[in-house]
A and B are shown apart, each in its own frame.
Chain A
Amino acid sequence: MDITLILSAVIAVVIIIAGFSIYNGIIGGHNRVQRAWSDVLVYERQKTKVLDQLQKVLADFMVFEASLLEKIAGLRSAVHALPAGADGNALTKVETASRDLMGGLRIAFEAYPDLKASEAANNMMREIAEQQENVGAAITIYNRNVELFNNSIEMFPGSVVNGLFNKKTRVTPFSDAEASQSFSYTPNI
């Protein structure tokens, strides 16, 4: 058999295998982004469950500040409005509402000495802070996945395979600078 023909066949097989591998890599990357986004949603919604208990604690201490209750309601509705599909921009409203609520809670703690001295209220604050920490970490992991996925569809040869077959579009990472500054963790990359 002609050596050129064999060589062409080998090259074609290698290109096809590489193409399949890149195609599957893009699909896997997209699924990982979706999974990371789901984690963000899970921990944001977990936070709203803590808010229910927080409202009860505030009621126990006769804290009926209208602005604080509005902030709780605002955060809850912002979390419920989050889309199922990965979208970093959608998080901006939630994170702003979270910051507002934490600020309002700190003011309430100063204004109500009984609340500040209460072990139950302090435990609740610790729980909220921990939930917020988990949300921050989940967003960090999400952003890392988005970076890897965007690289895979924008860099050669992934860009060619994606343009011909996958047709995936760039995913938006969460990039609220103010919110990012308040996170305790940064990705170890």
Chain B
Amino acid sequence: MPNTSQNARLNELLTVSEANIDRAESNADLLNVIHEFALYNGPLKFNFTRAWWFFGTGLLLIAGTVALYWFANTYTVAAFFYQLQIDPVMFGMAVGLLGIVIAVWSLVWMKSKSDRLPSLSSKIARLSSYFHNGLTGLGEDERVTLNKLDAQFGDYTRGNYSRELVTSIRGVFTGTLRSLPYTYHQLHYVNKRKVHTTVTDKDGKTRTETRVVYDHYDRYSLVIAFPWVTGISVRSDDQTQNDYSYPMDTASPDFNKAFCLTGSSEMLCAKFIKPSTVLHLLKLFNILHRPNLEFSDNGKLCLSFANSDLLTFGTQYSLSSPNEFYAEIDAGVDLPRLMSVLQWSHALSELHDDNFTFTASPPKKRKEK
């Protein structure tokens, strides 16, 4: 039947493509998959005619059950069931349940099928943004990565119940003056707290009940090679673990209100917080929410923030229009928010590098905070 054939062919194409995407290692692999969709002879959507028939049948069975209960007391209906020796209540219940199962199943089936193409399109665009911007996985256990980050920064010491790195990817940003290697991390952490509530029982007596509440949070960060500044923390949230021993305020009331600046010495703070740096740091609020900067002793900058949309990409087309989608993926998917943060970081490096020495100084021996 043409209906079954259409769905079976599209299903096969999607299954093969999903497997190919899971193995994709370059933009060319993604383009090959999209090319298969461009060559596909037929509509790129499932035919839901039968599913709608099933759904209608389900509704009819439910309607029949309602009607049965409505007319169950009439003589004709009662006599009919009496002759068949069937309990009308049990019969109605069985038919109604069957109708609900058929209607719900057909809706779930249609939803799952209609989601497959957009989901695959999104996956292709996501991978394309990674390939286009040179992003790759770290290739090491997340607990090992977290331990390494803990040894350098205080910003990952969050969550009194649990914490884990959900995402860790690496890349290199090529700026006008230099390339900045970086890693992107998403930390998920959970805070546990006890909540006391006063309840009144039926006798009018009050008692205090204690229950445990788990608050889930995510914190995002970029760790960037930054050998020009060490031993400085600039934070805008309440993460006091980032702080060094020596606080310093600046001549800018706006900066003092927005940030807490600390350093491992007053001299380091004074050298770091030049007027141009003050204004540059204030500009960070235009692109990030609740940003913290932590310059470790081994020449790394941890720029953490609350924004979850750093890897957001905006594609115009999907696999439902394969030729346009092919051209879009071929051109490469940009990550504009990530790039704006990296450009900001590159500009910060320009403010703090040595204008007479372009090569980055070798990392110093790391000291635990």
Write the residues of chain A forming the contact surface with B, with a CB cutoff of 8 angstroms.
Answer: 32, 35-36, 39, 43, 120, 123-124, 126-127, 130, 133-138, 140-142, 144-145, 148, 184-189
Contacts and interface: CB of A to CB of B under 8 A. Distances in A.
A150 to B, nearest CB: 13
Contacts of A130: 276, 350-351, 355
29 contacts: A32-B253, A36-B252, A43-B274, A123-B356, A124-B355, A127-B355, A130-B276, A130-B355, A133-B276, A135-B275, A136-B276, A137-B277, A137-B279, A138-B275, A140-B275, A141-B250, A141-B252, A142-B251, A144-B253, A144-B254, A148-B253, A185-B279, A185-B283, A187-B282, A188-B254, A188-B279, A188-B282, A188-B283, A188-B286
Given A185-B279, A186-B279, 10 more contacts: A120-B356, A123-B356, A134-B276, A135-B275, A141-B278, A141-B279, A145-B251, A145-B253, A184-B276, A188-B283
A53 to B, nearest CB: 10
B369 interface: no
Contacts of B279: 137, 140-141, 185-188
Ordered nearest first, which 8 A-B pairs have the shortest CB separation?
A137-B275, A188-B282, A138-B275, A185-B279, A137-B276, A36-B251, A127-B355, A126-B355
A36 B250 CA distance: 9
B280 interface: yes
A148 B253 CA distance: 9
A36 B283 CA distance: 19
B161 interface: no
B285 interface: yes
Contacts of A141: 250-252, 275, 278-279
A35 B254 contact: no
B208 to A, nearest CB: 38
B215 to A, nearest CB: 31
Q: Please classify how large the interface on chain B is, using the bins under 10, 10 to 19, 20 to 34, 35 or more.
A: 20 to 34
A32 B351 CA distance: 24
Interface in B261-305: 274-280, 282-283, 285-286
A135 B286 CA distance: 23
Contacts of A144: 252-254
Contacts of B278: 137, 141
Contacts of A188: 254, 279, 282-283, 285-286
Interface in B299-348: none
A95 B277 CA distance: 21
Contacts of A185: 276, 279-280, 283
Interface string B229-258: 000000000000000000000111110000
A136 B277 CA distance: 12
